[in-house]
């Protein structure tokens, strides 16, 4: 009998590599024949993919299917990805395409990347709209998170989707990820970009907001 | 976009931005977490796809006709799986059954098994752990020190070219 842990033998000296780097290491090892490393990749990247799918306004079970499909595509096309560093971007792009395909098939409104930006109403007006607020869900948030939630909800949809995904990756990966999300260059990283600037301006203008 | 926002947008990211994004992350993780079990289901699907495995059918649970409902089989005592090629029967025992000491609380279990094809390589996957044993000439095998949790067996009958067989997940 033998006991194998897939995390055994992972380099630990590497000082806090980014998500992209860690994913590239696992993916490279997987392609070199360490089949166990795919499980590590799934654990690492599924949260980002989940929030990518949900940010496209898919319901829970459709989002699960879409994320699972993206992983199966990765295994099928593992050899076609030239740069292992690109694996996260490849998966995010695949989730977006698959989400788009599913939404179109079901005849639902497809979120596009070039929607005109709606003027963001004051957060108070948005939170008064019962249709966009599930009180049961918001109740699980801390007070500071609730305030943030109202400000995030006031952002244009595409900004909400961008920040939601970006928040789950590391700073050096922002620019590549926003590109994979179909956002124009400069949407975030190395500069703040418009979406984060909007959120920051809204929060700084809110006298009840404190950043801690 | 207001002029203020334009200026803000063209500035480099700073520590406050990092903090904001961390708060955004925590908020989403709390509001809409990755569904429990999703990564395990994905890994299973990928294993199936990679192994081109055949899925065994859960045939029988526990003696005396004690059955769980369709989805929960906890706690498993005795289970039989079948495919056209072989059958697998496993029995789970806790070494410290009945003893409410500390080792029982965090205890592991022993899986005794019998497979109809001698020499089958039996792999048990529980969480991130993988335990492998080869069935003897009578098809018997024992796996000790198995942690509790959902687990599945991957069976590789002797002889090349055979598709592996994978069982549904059972609560151990």
pLDDT tens-digit series, residues B100-115: 444 445 678 899 999 9
Contact yes or no for A167 and B32 at CB 8 A: no
Q: In which band, very low, low, confident or very high, does the pLDDT at B95 lie, cut at 50, 70 and 90?
A: low
Window B:15-34, CB contacts with A under 8 Å: 16-32, 34
CA dist A135 and B73 (Å) reads 36
What pLDDT score was predicted for residue B123?
94
Question: From residue B153, how far is each of A192, B39, B45, B115 by CA, in Å?
Answer: 49, 18, 14, 11
Which residues pair with residue B79 across a beta bridge? Answer: B61, B90
Confirm if A85 and A93 have CB atoms less than 8 A apart.
Answer: no
Kindly list the domain boundaries of chain B, sorted by start residue: 1-33, 38-171
Residue in B33, B128, B144 with CA at minimum distance from that of residue B93: B144
Contact yes or no for B45 and A72 at CB 8 A: yes
Helices (H) then strands (E): counts for chain A:
10, 1
Interface check for A156 against chain B (CB to CB < 8 A): the answer is: no
Predicted confidence (pLDDT) at residue A130 exceeds the cutoff of 60: no
Length of chain A measured in residues: 212
Predicted confidence (pLDDT) at residue A123 exceeds the cutoff of 70: no
CA dist A1 and B80 (Å) reads 22
Which residues pair with residue B150 across a beta bridge? Answer: B171
Confirm if B35 and B61 have CB atoms less than 8 A apart.
Answer: no
What pLDDT score was predicted for residue B58?
83
For chain A, list the domains and their CATH numbers: 19-105 (1.10.1740), 123-204 (no CATH)
What pLDDT score was predicted for residue A57?
87
Q: In which band, very low, low, confident or very high, does the pLDDT at A126 lie, cut at 50, 70 and 90?
A: very low
Q: What is the pTM of this model?
A: 0.68
Confirm if A152 and B24 have CB atoms less than 8 A apart.
Answer: yes
Confirm if A38 and A75 have CB atoms less than 8 A apart.
Answer: yes
Confirm if B120 and B134 have CB atoms less than 8 A apart.
Answer: yes
Distance from CA of B100 to the nearest CA of A (A): 27
Interface check for B66 against chain A (CB to CB < 8 A): the answer is: no
pLDDT tens-digit series, residues A11-34: 444 457 899 999 999 999 999 988
């Amino acid at each position: 009998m033998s006991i194998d842990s897939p995390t055994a033998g992972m380099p630990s000296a590497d000082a806090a590599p980014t998500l992209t780097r860690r994913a590239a290491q696992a993916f490279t090892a997987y392609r070199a024949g360490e089949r166990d490393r795919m499980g590590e990749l799934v654990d690492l990247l599924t949260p980002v993919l989940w929030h990518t799918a949900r940010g496209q306004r898919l319901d829970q079970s459709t989002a699960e299917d879409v994320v699972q499909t993206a992983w199966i595509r990765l295994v099928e096309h593992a050899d076609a990805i030239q740069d292992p560093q690109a694996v996260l971007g490849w998966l995010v792009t695949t989730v977006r395409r698959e989400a788009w395909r599913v939404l179109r098939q079901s005849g639902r409104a497809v979120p596009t990347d070039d929607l005109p930006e709606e003027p963001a109403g004051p957060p108070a007006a948005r939170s008064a709209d019962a249709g966009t607020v599930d009180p049961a869900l918001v109740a699980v948030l801390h007070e500071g998170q609730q305030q943030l939630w109202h400000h995030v909800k006031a952002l244009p949809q595409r900004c909400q989707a961008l920040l939601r995904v970006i928040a789950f990756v590391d700073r050096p990966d922002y620019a590549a990820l926003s590109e994979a999300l179909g956002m124009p260059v400069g949407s975030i990283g190395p500069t703040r970009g418009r979406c984060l600037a909007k959120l920051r301006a809204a929060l700084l203008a809110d006298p009840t907001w404190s950043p801690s | 976009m207001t002029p203020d926002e334009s200026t803000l947008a063209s500035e480099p990211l700073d520590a406050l931005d990092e903090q904001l994004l961390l708060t955004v992350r925590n908020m989403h993780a709390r509001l809409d977490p990755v569904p429990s079990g999703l990564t395990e289901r994905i890994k299973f699907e990928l294993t199936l796809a990679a192994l081109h495995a055949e899925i065994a059918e859960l045939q029988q649970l526990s003696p005396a006709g004690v059955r769980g409902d369709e989805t929960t089989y906890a706690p498993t005592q005795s289970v039989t799986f079948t495919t056209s090629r072989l059958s697998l029967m496993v029995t789970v025992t806790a070494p410290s059954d009945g003893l409410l000491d500390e080792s029982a609380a965090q205890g592991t279990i022993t899986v005794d098994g019998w497979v109809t094809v001698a020499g089958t390589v039996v792999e048990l996957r529980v969480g991130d752990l993988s335990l492998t044993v080869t069935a003897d000439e009578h098809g018997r095998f024992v796996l000790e020190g198995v942690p509790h949790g959902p687990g599945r067996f991957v069976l590789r009958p002797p002889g090349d070219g055979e598709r592996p067989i994978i069982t549904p997940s059972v609560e151990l």
